[in-house]
Structure 1
Amino acid sequence: MAGLKISHFASKIKTLFWYCLITVPVSVAIGSAVALFLWLLSLAIHYRFAHTWLLYLLPLAGIAIHFAYRLYGKSSERGNNLIIDEIHQPGAGVPKRMGPLILVTTVITHLFGGSAGREGTAVQIGGSIARMFADWFKLDAPGMRTLLTVGIAAGFGAVFGTPLTGAIFAVEVLTNGRIKYNAFLPCLVAGFVGDITVSAWHIKHTAYHISYTLADIPVGSTSVWLASLMLFKVILASVFFGLASLAFAQMAHRIKALFLKLFKHTWMIPVTGGLIIIALTCILGKPDYLSLGVEPEYPHAVTIVSAFNNGGADTFSWFWKLLYTTLTLGTGFKGGEVTPLFYIGATLGNTLATWLNAPVSLFAALGFIAVFSGATKTPLACTVMGVELFGGQHLVFFAVACFIAYLFSGRAGIYTAQLKDNSAKGYFSEKLLKYKP
């Protein structure tokens, strides 16, 4: 019996070592592809900054993207959801063309001003490359699932410079409410190798800073009261962050369904979406809500970075970014959702901080991770992201914000393929209903 257990343990170690070993070349390939993507994306964004008239060609760009997927994309149109489905139940497979196709179409979306992100592109690049390596290594179905999960971790960790978050996100995003850790160690290797590879290509990530520290709370008899008051403000703001996540997910799904119902000829959908975005930009009189929203197109533009400063966002900047992004993605343009979610959260945090008389940089950071948490149903990964991006001093606030936003963001997130763990469904309400004093 003891010999059998030792043999089983040795087999597990051997399998784990093998997966970690093959993860390295996979992650280097993914990190290199993500570095190329980030470089091209930066070129496209800055080129549009210098040639603002490109926005008026957005409807034509939408037609090009539509027919690219119709002619060559096949199942690639499903994006991240296809990869998640393949991890749950391998079937039709992740097409090798998914990576190049999403890279090119995302760059086109940003070149002409569409409001989208980059995480979806990095994850799809990761899934596409991971599937290619899985075929080369002739992996079975469980091995395929593991390597696709590794692809998510490498792509996410590489695109944001958050390797630990990438690993946790990869295992947490698969099922809402339950985490399986089988593939966590290879994912951890993938996240770090992907991030190191991007750095080796001299691609730098945006730095964010929270100016508020706990040392700012006066020491004395009022310190406990002030700390409790701050926690209350964080909880209150986090409810709004969760509702913003809910609004984003609902609008993204409903806009897509509405346009599919309205237009018999589907190529008209991106044309209409592009025209609406052009009209909104002309009405608002500024381009702040186009593209990523990380770098300013002109001095004093509202960006994610500016939201960390007093007066760095307008009262409804978060709403406009939410509308622009759901219109962009819901009408067929390509890219991710996460960076726009960062923008929505940071600018909403800026607004709430003003209303609640709270530290702007802290609440921008809380919104940054909490809205993302609610929309993707990954509160643990988002809490860790807060530490990786902003430092560990406010870890408690990060956790409170992410988990409360998760609770108030509804049952469904932005990924329709994400499974739901219903084991705890109705637990609190049933207990309360049965309780009779």
Structure 2
Amino acid sequence: MFGKFLTDPFRQRSFSSYFTIKGRRSLYLYCVVTGVVSGLGAFLFSRALAWAEYISLESISGLHNTHSGGEYYVSLDPINSLYLGRWFLLVLPILGGLITGWIVWKFSPDSSGTGTDSLIDSFHNKEGKVDPKIPLIKSIATIFTLSSGGSGGKEGPISLIGAGFGSLVANITKAGARARRTLLLAGTAGGLGAIFHAPLGGALTSVEMVYKEDIESDSLVPCIISSVTAFLTYSSFNGFGSVYKVPEIGFTAYKEILFYLALGIGCYLAGAFLIRVFQFIQTWSKSWKFPVWLKPALGGIPVGLVGYFLPEVIGTGAGFLQEVLEGSYSFEKIFSHSIHIFGLENSEAIRFGSYLSPELLIAFCFLLFAFLKIITTSFTIGTGGSAGMFGPSLFIGGMLGGAVGTLAKLILGYDVSIASFVLVGMGAFYAGIASAPIAGMVMICEIIGSYSLLPPLMIVSIISFVLSHKLNLYKSQKNTRFQSPAHYWDMNRDLLEEIRIEDIKERLRNIAVTSTSTLLSYLEEEALKINASDYIVLDEEKKYAGMISLRTNRLFLEGRDLTRNLVLVGDLTDSSILPVQLQTSLASAFKTLVDNNMDKIPVEEAGEYLGYLRYADIISIYFEKTRSSRPASN
């Protein structure tokens, strides 16, 4: 009888139907479950990282105060028997990079880097699917990276834990792509909301980070549900309260606005520098003729050198940020170790510095720390290490804010709140490089437990965001939802179905067209002149032969001189992309574009190539028809 129940197909379908996502209410229920798992994952990860840092950084290397005031830390005296000395910081990032590189190479190559970019790519291009092993491998690799002094943040693996579980829930319940994407973002929100004690900030970050000029509004309520649940779950074990403990802060005088405006410009300039350095290290490290698993260890060499002299710059940097906010830091003590090693106590530079204003020296030190954080973060993550970029963004922005606040104190002549400038810089810097102004503002307010800085945060974040519109830290971000395959079916397909290509024949182009006999090296040079990436390929008889994408087909830098005259366009032409006809509707042409991940589609009629239609043309036609169909206002 019982065995019959298990093998009866009808009863199996009936039983499993209770767990399917049938509507918004059942989706919200799974968001609660995802939030619980995200909160537990954040709790376990934070505990594991705290113990790893206690052993490697505190006990072995002798560092202290590596956590912010509201984070969990191991409240035990360092293990004296493990102590090797500060010199071990020279080799610790190398060892950590070696272990991280091997783990990632052996078990999950997709677990390297920030983690956030892979989440965004999964949302847009993979229907929200995440390999279940990535969150586990990413967490382990990040623990080794950060506990060995690698410069980065811990938000990457934590958001992946929630996102991975959300994707898993969607697979188990056989949910569609739309529900899976929603659960992916809900899991991300849960992880961020838990670890940063920021339920609203975590939800806003997850729906804002996938676009540069838009938000995923459909997922906002599910993300809030998951984030609040994760926050409550995490706090029930870790305790409530803000991540950073801050003194009295606030916006006190209108004359400080000029300095806040300058801070916004400074965040933009530093953000542009960070992205260029980070992307340069990424590209440069790919050309290194070493095994992939060895590259993070090589990236650990400059990190170790910086960390030996200035350990405040390595790791998460949360402990030093806490000291800056409290005003308990002393740059004289910080640099005393380096001055002693190099015997600079009586040098001309030190004597000259004594004649300068203390505020100028402090501002310079803040800027130096921001610069070094950019370098160490780029080498840690850019060479294949596993860590997030949100943590370093807070540190860099905080140092910029500290520099501007110190100069404001010198120029205005009264006791300006340095901590206020530090906090505003933390939020504005991330708002610029991640194109997430709202999330940056709210996140900072929640991690300090106060909204008193919201006015200057709004001003500086918007300035940084507007100036940084061309910056792109996350390459997988789309500008708006209309550029994302996730919202292809959101468009009015009836409108596009009514329009045939022959109706807009005058829009066809013939600029990005090449032939099978063209050298690939020549095509790469020509593409730079017209800023094109996808080309239509014609044969010698001017017949359509296929397409080629320079995004995936390029000559390698090494050996380029040998191959530049050997590789033809015809050797790499993709003939599987079929042309559309004049009678094809724009809806079908648009779907073909999305399915093939190209920005243009060839058009034929009776075997004769006529031209191509661009992705941007279809979007433009759609909006033209939408506007023309609206009723005129009175």
> What TM-score does the superposition give when structure 2 sets the normalisation length?
0.59
Question: Aligned residues: percent identity?
Answer: 23
Question: Could you tell me which residue of structure 1 aligns to residue 591 of structure 2?
Answer: none
**One-letter code aligned to 1:382:** G
Measured after TM superposition, the shift of residue 157 of structure 1 is: 0.7
Question: Could you tell me which residue of structure 1 aligns to residue 473 of structure 2?
Answer: 414
Task: Please say if 1:340 is aligned against 2:357.
Answer: no
Which string of whole-angstrom CA distances, capped at 9 and with x for unpartnered residues, describes residues 96-150 of structure 1? 0011101111111122111111111111112211111111211111111111111
Instruction: Tell me, in whole angstroms, the C-alpha distance in 2 between the residues paired with 1:326 and 1:210.
Output: 32
Are the aligned partners of 2:437 and 2:462 in contact in 1 as well (CA < 8 Å)? yes
Task: Please say if 1:17 is aligned against 2:43.
Answer: no
Instruction: Tell me, in whole angstroms, the C-alpha distance in 1 between the residues paired with 2:204 and 2:44.
Output: 24
**One-letter code aligned to 2:325:** F
Which string of whole-angstrom CA distances, capped at 9 and with x for unpartnered residues, describes residues 174-202 of structure 1? 11011131011010001111111111122
Task: Please say if 1:43 is aligned against 2:48.
Answer: no
TM superposition outliers: structure 1 runs of 4+ over 6 Å: none
Measured after TM superposition, the shift of residue 203 of structure 1 is: 5.3
Question: Could you tell me which residue of structure 2 aligns to residue 273 of structure 1?
Answer: 299
Are the aligned partners of 1:252 and 1:330 in contact in 2 as well (CA < 8 Å)? yes
Question: Could you tell me which residue of structure 1 aligns to residue 279 of structure 2?
Answer: 253
Instruction: Tell me, in whole angstroms, the C-alpha distance in 2 between the residues paired with 1:91 and 1:199.
Output: 32
Are the aligned partners of 1:23 and 1:186 in contact in 2 as well (CA < 8 Å)? yes
Question: Could you tell me which residue of structure 1 aligns to residue 540 of structure 2?
Answer: none
Mapping 1:147-158, distance limit 5 Å: 147-158=183-194
Are the aligned partners of 1:386 and 1:395 in contact in 2 as well (CA < 8 Å)? no
Question: Could you tell me which residue of structure 2 aligns to residue 200 of structure 1?
Answer: 236
Gaps of 5+ in 2: 1-21, 62-83, 332-364, 410-415, 483-634
Instruction: Tell me, in whole angstroms, the C-alpha distance in 2 between the residues paired with 1:198 and 1:212.
Output: 27
**One-letter code aligned to 1:338:** F
Question: Could you tell me which residue of structure 2 aligns to residue 286 of structure 1?
Answer: 310
Measured after TM superposition, the shift of residue 271 of structure 1 is: 2.3
Question: 2:289 aligned to 260, 263, 268, which one?
Answer: 263
Question: Could you tell me which residue of structure 2 aligns to residue 435 of structure 1?
Answer: none
Instruction: Tell me, in whole angstroms, the C-alpha distance in 2 between the residues paired with 1:60 and 1:389.
Output: 32
Task: Please say if 1:400 is aligned against 2:400.
Answer: no
Instruction: Tell me, in whole angstroms, the C-alpha distance in 1 between the residues paired with 2:249 and 2:276.
Output: 33
Instruction: Tell me, in whole angstroms, the C-alpha distance in 2 between the residues paired with 1:123 and 1:422.
Output: 22
Equivalenced residue count is 392
Measured after TM superposition, the shift of residue 342 of structure 1 is: 0.9
Q: Quick one: higher RCO (CA 8 Å, sep 6+), 1 or 2?
A: 1
Question: Could you tell me which residue of structure 2 aligns to residue 34 of structure 1?
Answer: 42
Instruction: Evaluate the alpha carbon distance shift between residue 103 and residue 138 of structure 1 in structure 2; reply closer, same or farther with a 3 A threshold.
Output: same
Question: Could you tell me which residue of structure 2 aligns to residue 64 of structure 1?
Answer: 99
Instruction: Evaluate the alpha carbon distance shift between residue 370 and residue 337 of structure 1 in structure 2; reply closer, same or farther with a 3 A threshold.
Output: same
**One-letter code aligned to 1:346:** G
Question: Could you tell me which residue of structure 2 aligns to residue 114 of structure 1?
Answer: 150
Question: Could you tell me which residue of structure 2 aligns to residue 388 of structure 1?
Answer: 446
Which string of whole-angstrom CA distances, capped at 9 and with x for unpartnered residues, describes residues 260-280 of structure 1? 123353334222211121222
Are the aligned partners of 1:374 and 1:413 in contact in 2 as well (CA < 8 Å)? no
Measured after TM superposition, the shift of residue 281 of structure 1 is: 2.8
The structure with the largest alpha-carbon Rg is 2
Measured after TM superposition, the shift of residue 30 of structure 1 is: 1.2
Question: 1:365 aligned to 423, 439, 458, which one?
Answer: 423
Mapping 1:122-161, distance limit 5 Å: 122-161=158-197
Question: Could you tell me which residue of structure 2 aligns to residue 433 of structure 1?
Answer: none
Question: Could you tell me which residue of structure 2 aligns to residue 322 of structure 1?
Answer: 374
- 2:318 is paired with a residue of what secondary structure? coil
Instruction: Tell me, in whole angstroms, the C-alpha distance in 2 between the residues paired with 1:58 and 1:264.
Output: 18
Which moved further from structure 2: 164-173 or 258-267?
A: 258-267
Task: Please say if 1:213 is aligned against 2:250.
Answer: yes
**One-letter code aligned to 2:259:** K
Measured after TM superposition, the shift of residue 410 of structure 1 is: 4.6
Instruction: Evaluate the alpha carbon distance shift between residue 20 and residue 269 of structure 1 in structure 2; reply closer, same or farther with a 3 A threshold.
Output: same
Are the aligned partners of 2:314 and 2:376 in contact in 1 as well (CA < 8 Å)? yes
Measured after TM superposition, the shift of residue 237 of structure 1 is: 1.1
Gaps of 5+ in 1: 1-13, 218-225, 296-302, 424-437
**One-letter code aligned to 1:129:** F
Measured after TM superposition, the shift of residue 41 of structure 1 is: 1.0
Instruction: Tell me, in whole angstroms, the C-alpha distance in 2 between the residues paired with 1:412 and 1:25.
Output: 36
> What TM-score does the superposition give when structure 1 sets the normalisation length?
0.84
Instruction: Evaluate the alpha carbon distance shift between residue 83 and residue 378 of structure 1 in structure 2; reply closer, same or farther with a 3 A threshold.
Output: same
Measured after TM superposition, the shift of residue 421 of structure 1 is: 3.7
Question: Could you tell me which residue of structure 2 aligns to residue 232 of structure 1?
Answer: 258
Instruction: Evaluate the alpha carbon distance shift between residue 80 and residue 389 of structure 1 in structure 2; reply closer, same or farther with a 3 A threshold.
Output: closer
